[in-house]
Amino acid sequence: MKKMTHLLALLCCLLLVVGLTQPAAAYSNDLIDGWAIKEVTAMADLGLIPQELAGSDLRLPISRRLMCQIAMLSYEKLTGQTVSLPQSHPFTDTTEPAIEKAAAVGLTDGDGDGKFRPNDTLTRQEFFCFVGKFLKVIQFPLTDDLYADLSGFSDTGNIARWAKDYTALCVGTGVVQGTGNGLAPTAKTKAEEAIMMFYRAYQLAVSYWEKNNENNSANGPSNGDSFAQAFPNTSSWAVPEIQAMEQLGLIPSSVKGTSMQGPITRGSMCKMAVSAYRKLSNQPNLQPSQSSPFQDTQDPDIVLAAELKIVNGYTDGTFGPNKSITREEYFKITMCLLSALGYPYQDDQVVNLGEFGDGNSVSNWAKPSARLLISLGLLKGSGGNLNPKTAIVCQEAIALFYRSYQFMSVWDADSQADPRPPVSRQLAEELVDHAMQFEGYPYVYGGQSPSGFDCSGFVWYNYKQFGYSLNRTADRQYSNGTPVRKSELLPGDLVFFTQNGSSISHVGIYVGNNIMLHASTSSTGVILSDLSSSYYLNHYYGAVRIIAT
């Protein structure tokens, strides 16, 4: 009996070994070219190859759907985050979880017409975009020196403009090495190629991620903890903003180690606002000059916030530093911070809070601040609501506050009497007139000429005719101009929209009277749309002005 037990144990061990080595064994020479075996095996060992590809011929083209699965497996393993499904479906032709999660974190925008086309095979330039967006989303430092000169390749002219930056990045980082003397951008990407090249990108990301954690440890705030330990239960959509805020040193120690899904306190919000004020006003050592006006706290950051008129206490003389802060209280604090920094605030009566399902429930004292943040594109609501009375959770407070910080870092109160430079109205109106002639022209994914436009290609083309060289993609075009309030839009301004609340997915040209001109979808082409319609109201991201004097 004892001998039989040993035999059974040995058999179990053998079966376990077979099970563990199955991924590597599944990719034999009759299913994969020899040059790719090493990287494919490494990806399999990391658990980053979809089960559906096990035992498949990897010499065949990979689909967009399976590429999404690889990208999401890599993202979740690297960040330690389990991405939640978005509340609404981003695409009309698929509800596959990996694709919807990839859209939620910014790994894909689909085809720009509301579709993803999951079963289409992936071109090499589309793969380059996956890699570039992956590196961008995990906050890899994309410095200018990483973008290679592509002029040495014979087929550079075949690269679509929307893919050129990502292609240059893939070549510059060594992820892509070309085929012969070309890049074959429009060729289909074999599964083995996609896995091998994405492994290189993943290794770059791992090296940066580990180094970043080491730097955070050396600086002390996280006490050697990983991001997941320092900011537990962070949703994937909030990771980039929280990382950026942490690198700026704007997240108070009182928040670290607490659940990002839990409410933020009034005291912690004060500390974050005061840290931002010190940084933006170049007064890193600023301290209060008065004694505390509150009976229940002597915290110098709270006292300074009161002195700067960023916060107020309750009528009974208390502040309640440990109480959770409601969303409308958050709106007011953010508005008061902008005012303290010199932003010329005016109540924007054009913004109708009634357009939100619960907009009329905002307290009267908070309505001006809500209107301001909406007009600046800093507040977008959730599911068509503002939820003013609910407690704002840590990750949402940090992410929204980062948008406000970015806005104020662009606006310079010392050099501008008005936060937006005057516009050359005649030139801007001429551009709008020029763009209007293309109403009804076709939408073509990646298009940037009258034969067919996508949204950013339409903007890029029209501005080019007037001597402006803009970035090619919508998210990068946002950085080309100066932010403007929604209520102060002028013809020629660019208006931006988001699918997931954090990344830009669409752009149009404002033509006046709350109307924009844009390359919408393959079924509608270039059309005029009303910004007050429910979709564009709920997905509005912000606006920038390009033509200025």
In order along its 549 residues, the chain shows pLDDT tens digits of 444 444 444 344 433 333 333 344 455 567 888 888 888 888 888 889 998 888 889 999 999 999 999 999 998 888 777 888 877 788 888 999 999 888 888 888 777 667 889 999 999 999 998 998 888 888 788 777 788 888 778 888 888 877 888 888 888 888 887 666 788 989 999 999 999 999 989 888 887 776 665 444 333 333 334 677 788 888 766 787 888 888 888 999 989 888 888 889 999 999 999 999 999 888 989 999 989 999 999 999 999 999 999 998 898 999 999 999 999 999 999 999 988 988 876 676 667 787 778 888 999 999 988 888 877 767 766 656 888 898 898 988 998 888 788 777 766 443 343 433 344 678 888 899 889 988 888 888 888 888 788 899 999 989 987 778 888 888 888 888 888 888 889 999 999 998 777 678 899 999 999 999 999 888 889 999 999 888 888 889 999 999 874
Q: How high is the pLDDT of residue 144?
A: 72
Q: Is-catalytic flag, 506? A: yes
Find out whether 280 and 402 touch, Cβ atoms under 8 Å.
no
Give the closest residue to 372 by CA, choosing from 345, 409, 343, 339: 345
Give the closest residue to 511 by CA, choosing from 487, 494, 497, 536: 494
What count of other Cβ atoms lies within 10 Å of the Cβ of residue 9?
Answer: 10
Catalytic option among 68, 336, 394, 455:
455
pTM (two decimals): 0.45
**Phi first, then psi: what are they for 321, rounded to 5°?**
-60, -25
Q: How high is the pLDDT of residue 164?
A: 84
Q: Tell me how many degrees the CA angle 264-100-453 measures, rounded to the nearest 5.
A: 110
Q: How high is the pLDDT of residue 27?
A: 56
Q: CB neighbours of 35 closer than 8 A, spacing ≥ 6?
A: none
User: Which CATH number applies to 425-545: 3.90.1720.10, 3.90.79.10, 2.40.160.20, 3.10.20.340?
Assistant: 3.90.1720.10
In the DSSP assignment, the letter for residue 236 is G
Q: CB neighbours of 179 closer than 8 A, spacing ≥ 6?
A: none
Q: Is-catalytic flag, 455? A: yes
Residues of the chain with CATH 3.90.1720.10: 425-545
**Integer Cα distance of 99 and 91 in angstroms:** 9
Q: CB neighbours of 9 closer than 8 A, spacing ≥ 6?
A: none
Q: How high is the pLDDT of residue 3?
A: 42
Which tokens in the block code for residue 373? 């943040």
Find out whether 456 and 507 touch, Cβ atoms under 8 Å.
yes
**Integer Cα distance of 104 and 99 in angstroms:** 9
Q: How high is the pLDDT of residue 358?
A: 84
Which tokens in the block code for residue 8? 């059974």
Catalytic option among 129, 170, 518, 539:
518
Q: Is-catalytic flag, 6? A: no
How are beta strands 482-483 and 452-453 bridged, if at all? unpaired
For the residues of 139-186, what is the DSSP string, one character each?
T----GGGS---TTSTTGGGS-HHHHHHHHHHHHTTS---BTTB--TT
105-116 as b/e: b if 16+ CB within 10 A = bbbbbbbbbbbb
Catalytic option among 129, 270, 394, 506:
506
Count, residues in the chain: 549
Q: How high is the pLDDT of residue 195?
A: 92
State the angle between helix axes of 191-219 and 124-137 in degrees (0 to 180), rounded to the nearest 10: 10
The DSSP H or E segment spanning 327 is helix 327-340
